[in-house]
């Protein structure tokens, strides 16, 4: 009797954990879609750029996400489309609301293959002052890629 009760209790616990895990996965889906839609809404020159960094032509995507509501932070996003883990940096030119410009640097150390990471650049900028951005250079390990205007 005690063995049956223990078995039933174990099955109930596993079922509850499975339901919680399923609800967590369902809740994460819309967040990823919102991130993608925010990136798609960003307008301006070179807000997202794909650069071939691998000998096989594999690419890394680097983009900047403007603050949507004046409270969310200004972020730089890296997505490693290569098959190796590497350190990436991006230099981004940022247009400010007062008409000025600022240059920031974002780092994504040890970015794994297929990983997508959003990072806060340095120096940190007030989100309500950012009006536009442009990726101007990317560094993968010791290789620097400067993007030309035009």
Condensed to tens digits (0 to 9), the pLDDT of residues 103-140 reads 999 999 999 999 999 999 998 888 778 888 888 888 88
Strand order in the sheet with 101-111: 101-111, 86-96, 130-140, 143-146
In terms of pTM, does the model score above 0.75?
A: no
Residues 78/135, Cβ–Cβ less than 8 Å: no
């Amino acid at each position: 009797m005690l063995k049956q009760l223990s078995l039933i209790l174990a099955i109930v616990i596993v079922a509850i954990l499975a339901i919680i895990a399923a609800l967590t996965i369902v809740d994460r889906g819309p967040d990823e879609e919102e991130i993608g839609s925010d990136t798609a809404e960003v307008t301006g020159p070179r807000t997202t750029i794909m650069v071939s960094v691998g000998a096989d032509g594999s690419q890394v995507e680097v983009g900047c996400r403007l603050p949507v509501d004046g409270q969310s932070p200004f972020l730089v996003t890296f997505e490693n489309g290569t098959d190796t883990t590497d350190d990436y940096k991006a230099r981004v030119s940022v247009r400010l609301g007062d008409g000025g410009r600022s240059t920031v640097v974002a780092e994504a150390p040890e970015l794994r293959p297929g990983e997508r990471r959003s990072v806060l650049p340095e120096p940190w900028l007030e989100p309500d002052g950012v009006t536009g951005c442009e990726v101007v250079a990317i560094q993968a390990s010791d290789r620097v890629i400067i993007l030309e205007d035009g």
